Structure 1
Amino acid sequence: MTSLENTLQRLGLTSALENTWWQHTQLLNATAPERTLDSEVDRAVFDLLGVSQHQGISAVYANTTSFEGFLAHIAQFNCTTELNLERVNAYLTGEPQPAAIRQLFDEIAAMPDVLTEQDLQQWQEEGYVVVKQALDLKQCDAVIKAIAGFLNADLSQASQWYELKVSAGIMVDLIQHPALTQARNIKRIHKAYSQLWNTEDLIVSSDRCGFNPPQTPVHPFSGPDLHWDLNFSKPLKFGTQGIVYLTDTAPEQGALTVVPGFHHQLAKQVEEYKGKQNEIDFHQFGSKAIGANAGDMVIWHQFLPHGSRPNLAELPRIVHYINMYPFPQV
């Protein structure tokens, strides 16, 4: 029996997670066995367990019929806290959140607003906002060191930038690290998201980092260019995405690029764009690269086409992706 199983049994939480959530994943396995779990609940459970979507899906499909095997797979990441297990149980059963979490929500509610009226107006009109100093420079440096350690590289040495093991062009598959955990739990970030979602009852994503070095003739930009992270087979709903710059990032430095205001257009013309995102040059609609300082965070409406861009500067763009959202109704 793994430590995670022991913890679940000791807390009396095994039943809800196994009988409610695990049975749900097995039904999806039977009906759509293409190694993808589309459910918003799955995403939320993985985030609360402290694993990425890829790690969670891999754990499910590596242990298709064994809940104990799934727990053993997850336990190896050493990322699941007792408090978050209690949160999963509460969300799945409809019980109140743990007292410590309710206290956190009260603290966030009592904080001064992070986003100004001007910020919120920009959000409504353009679909993105910049949160200044979401992380301080010490926190940024801690995450950069974690990324460097994960990649086993000295990121100050340009000779090493193009030999790194990254995925999808610029993604660093670092998920579990104390520096990332600290960054994900910054109250200033939580407050900003609570203003956009109109609730403090939010969970934080367990997401990756990014490293986008300057392009060269030998190492051209590998993408991703403008795209959506949406499932067009389901009704589209409001959602957010976010990125924290860990170093000063100029617009030409591979900065996050969006099409401001496109959330209004997509909502009205879903059928026109469904299944065609690889056929459309979204830059024609007026794309904008968003530069900002180290520690600043860009949050954008998930209806905006977004992506990186070629890094035409002399230094890499280094980032951490952080999102927050309410647990979906079961």
Structure 2
Amino acid sequence: MKECNSSQELFNEDDTHLELLEAIWLRTRDAILSNQMPSGGVISDADKAVFDLFGMNWQHTILALYHHAHSYKDFLEHIKPYANINKLALERIKAYLSGHAQPQEALNLFEEIKGMDNVLNDSQIQQWQRDGYVILKEALDIQQCQASINAIAGFLQIDITDRTQWYNCANRKGIMVELTHHAALIAARNSKRIHKAFSQLWQTENLIVSADRCGFNPPHTEHHPFSGPDLHWDVDLTKPLTFGTQGIVYLTDTDAQQGALTLVPGFHLHLKSRVDEFKNQQHEIDLHKLGSKPVPAKAGDMIIWHHFLPHGSRANLTDKPRIVQYINMYPFPKEIEQ
């Protein structure tokens, strides 16, 4: 195979990944056109993992699948600019789908992570078990944080130091910034310190990193009130509940009143026994009554939480924006759909 150095070259030179994406597109198209959505959702967890390995944010990709259900060519053209397809990603996907060992480059990384000193100490692991979340200090250094901030500012087309530009900027949906594919964000996702933390929690180094978005939560004002999301789960409460993680990196110092991530500590121990209370009605219930708590931290710190915890942002009552990058890691799903 010709060595390909860019996403565009891989789109032009190798058909294997196109076949993988086309299989997902065909299944999605058939479900949409027949109006027969699978009970577990239009795409599987394995599909999401494929998207992550290709550097494609899965929420954005699902929207593209719906918008281009009548044309695979249009779907492919739509997602090209948002992908980070490379030879290693393709080899990893093919290995997962075939059940074969990961490529040597990936195995070398896993061995390096395994040989690292633990980044979460015994006290932090105990906090994880008790509260369902942990703070990884200095997950990114200040230079990495600033690189991600600059990427977000460029995407929003604003000068972040100018507060008059915070509220009517482009490419922001509420507090979410739909930026996924940028060298600074990819570098942050490749942090070995972050990989080590997730490997301690998952008890394996063989992990996939999410191609996730960023966040920009400016101060709450009368004319620009907090838009949410408030406390919620990203878990499908109608399906069997299994272990999972989520993560957020603060790119600036973030205090409790600055729109900090808010969790219900310890609720990962209770969700399974109480899930029937929340099925299909979580947004009608005041989850703060369960004992919500904002989690402040410094620039570069990362909060990793058990996805059974209700979580959300909150109104930013300070004079500074909350700027974050979302990063998660997880093993390739065991039940593979092809």
Same fold (TM over 0.5): yes
Query: What letter corresponds to residue 172 of structure 1 in structure 2?
Result: V
Q: Within 5 A, what are the aligned runs for 1:20-31?
A: 21=24, 24-26=27-29, 28-29=31-32, 30=34, 31=36
What corresponds to 2:238 in structure 1? 233
2:298 to 285, 293, 300: 293
- In the alignment, the residues of structure 1 paired with residue 68 and residue 222 of structure 2 have an alpha-carbon distance, to the nearest angstrom, of 44
Q: Within 5 A, what are the aligned runs for 1:258-273?
A: 258-273=263-278
Q: 1:143 to 1:210 in 2, by over 3 A?
A: same
Contact preservation (8 Å) 1:246, 1:319: yes
- In the alignment, the residues of structure 1 paired with residue 100 and residue 283 of structure 2 have an alpha-carbon distance, to the nearest angstrom, of 43
CA deviations over 1:115-159 (Å, ceiling 9, x no partner): 111111101110000000000000000000000000110011111
Q: Percent identity?
A: 54
What corresponds to 2:142 in structure 1? 137
Query: What letter corresponds to residue 291 of structure 1 in structure 2?
Result: P
- In the alignment, the residues of structure 2 paired with residue 4 and residue 135 of structure 1 have an alpha-carbon distance, to the nearest angstrom, of 30
CA deviations over 1:26-70 (Å, ceiling 9, x no partner): 554443299x63411121111111111132213333443665554
Contact preservation (8 Å) 1:4, 1:75: no
Query: Does residue 306 of structure 1 match 2:297?
Result: no
Q: Within 5 A, what are the aligned runs for 1:1-330?
A: 3-9=9-15, 17=20, 21=24, 24-26=27-29, 28-29=31-32, 30=34, 31-32=36-37, 37-64=42-69, 69-165=74-170, 167-329=172-334, 330=336
Contact preservation (8 Å) 1:4, 1:72: no
Contact preservation (8 Å) 1:258, 1:306: yes
Contact preservation (8 Å) 1:162, 1:213: yes
Q: Shift in Å at residue 89 of structure 1?
A: 1.1
Q: 1:256 to 1:18 in 2, by over 3 A?
A: closer
Q: Shift in Å at residue 19 of structure 1?
A: 8.0
Q: Shift in Å at residue 8 of structure 1?
A: 2.5
Q: Which runs of no fewer than 5 residues in structure 1 stay unpaired?
A: none
Q: 1:33 to 1:199 in 2, by over 3 A?
A: closer
Q: Which moved more, 1:17-26 or 1:101-110?
A: 17-26
Question: 3-state DSSP class of the match of 1:46?
Answer: helix
Contact preservation (8 Å) 1:258, 1:304: yes
Q: 1:132 to 1:66 in 2, by over 3 A?
A: same
Contact preservation (8 Å) 2:82, 2:180: no
Q: 1:33 to 1:237 in 2, by over 3 A?
A: closer
Count of equivalent residues: 325
Q: Shift in Å at residue 86 of structure 1?
A: 1.1
Contact preservation (8 Å) 1:5, 1:71: no
